[in-house]
Amino acid sequence: MPRPLLAIVGPTAAGKSEVGLLLAEALAGEIVSADSMQVYRGMDIGTAKPSPEERARVRHHLIDIIDPDTPFSVADYRARADAALAAIWEEGRLPLLVGGSGLYVRALIDELSFPLAPPNAELRRRLAQQAREEGVGALHARLATIDPEAAVRIHPNDAKRIIRALEVHALTGQPISRLQSLDRRFQARYNTRQFGLTGPRPELYRRIEERVDRMLAAGLVEEVKTLLARGCTADLVAMKGLGYAQIAEHLRGACSLEEAVARLKRDTRRFAKRQLTWFRRDPRIVWIDLANLGGPEQVVEWIQCRWRERCAAGE
């Protein structure tokens, strides 16, 4: 029987970090982050990293492991997360996978072929150059000829995903849509139990707005200003993250702070919707409506009961 792994997933601002922290304390566990932005050093406020006090209460893994200008792939994440899980099990403790980066979660808990196809820096550079010279629309038109299904799903202006789709086809000879369809099959690597946090959409949006306001009060603008001064340019993957891209636009004079904040809140709401769409595809996730249970403590108690029932049954 594969070793046990408990996962807390769901959209941004749903309360995953707080629930994960309380659960880890209750179950003698350690947290493995499944957040694609928290891996970067110096990006603390905009990624809502756990505070030093929280990290002192429970050991966290896969946080602050690379600089923002360092390439980091899903394959890199899985290798490091696998190592973290092995170390936690070796100490006789329970790992809790906590985060909302759906691809990171799937890559760790299931066998995947497509997401782990290694990136080709030179090919990406050439495709990015073509996008600049010919326009992103030309690359999207090329994608439509080799993979119509992917072209329908990918927005014509989404240069990153278009380039990735063309890259995968060039490296594998297979349409990315076909490889993705193969990866919709669930082939578990670990004995994982997943719990998803959700709630009424208006409540989630309220939490998002409040979270952005707290980030601004905590110094998000100064954090982005510091990163730009260190040479973190807009083309870095890290600087395209929520909060960093919008505030950087303001600091470059492209918009007012009020406009940047409005875009950040809008983009975060859209991101939460995409996260929910991603996680809803996985029928193994047990969803918890926070509005029905009362608060984080009640959620933790409920999950503990389900987890202990599973352990008692030898699952």
Pair 95, 230 in one domain: yes
Beta strand extents in the chain (DSSP E only): 4-9, 29-33, 60-61, 94-98, 191-198, 286-289
Are residues 159 and 134 both part of a single domain? yes
Residue 13's pLDDT is 93
Do residue 190 and residue 251 come from a single domain? yes
pLDDT at 145: 93
Same domain assignment for residues 141 and 39: no
Domain of 261, CATH number, reads: 3.40.50.300
Residue 121 — very low, low, confident or very high, per pLDDT cuts 50/70/90? Answer: confident
If asked whether residues 104 and 190 sit together in one domain, one would say yes
pLDDT category at 120 given cuts 50, 70, 90 is confident
Q: How far is CA 167 from CA 117, 152, 164, 170, in A?
A: 10, 17, 5, 5
Band (pLDDT 50/70/90 cuts) for residue 234 is confident
Mean pLDDT of 72-98: 94
Domain end among 182, 206, 227: 182
- Distance between CA 242 and CA 248 in Å, rounded? 11
What's the CA gap between 275 and 172, in Å, rounded?
A: 27
DSSP state of 133: H
Question: Does residue 225 share a domain with residue 130?
Answer: no
pLDDT band at 172 (very low <50, low <70, confident <90, very high): confident
Domain total in the chain: 2
User: How confident is the model over 151-168, as a mean pLDDT?
Assistant: 89
Does the pLDDT of residue 128 top 80, yes or no?
A: yes
Average pLDDT value over all residues in the chain: 91
Range in 11-15, 115-119, 293-297 with the lowest mean pLDDT: 115-119
Max intra-chain CA distance, the chain: 61
- Domain end, chosen from 182, 207, 227, is at 182
Share of residues in the chain with pLDDT > 90 (%): 70
Mean pLDDT of 10-14: 95
63 and 166 belong to one structural domain:
no
Q: Residue 135: CB partners within 8 Å, gap ≥ 6?
A: none
Q: How confident is the model at residue 224 (pLDDT cuts 50, 70, 90)?
A: very high
Do 139 and 167 share a domain, yes or no? yes
pLDDT band for position 177 (cuts 50, 70, 90): confident
| Residue 149 sits in the same domain as residue 36 | no
Average pLDDT over residues 45-54: 96
Least confident of 62-66, 96-100, 154-158, 181-185: 181-185
Identify the domain containing residue 10 by its residue range. 4-112+184-312
Picking from 96, 14, 113, 104, the residue whose alpha carbon sits closest to that of residue 61 is 96
Please indicate, yes or no, whether residues 129 and 95 belong to a single structural domain of this protein. no
**pLDDT value of residue 178:** 75
Quick one: 100 and 216 in the same domain?
yes
Q: What is the length of the chain?
A: 315
Task: Tell me: do 176 and 188 sit in the same domain.
Answer: no
Please write the tens of the pLDDT for every residue from 188-223. 899 999 999 998 999 999 999 999 999 999 999 999
Q: Return the CATH number at 161.
A: 1.10.20.140
Going by pLDDT thresholds of 50, 70 and 90, the confidence category of residue 315 is: low
Between CA 126 and CA 14 the distance in angstroms is 39
163 burial via Cβ count (<10 Å: 0-12, 13-18, 19+): buried
The pTM (predicted TM-score) of the whole model is 0.82
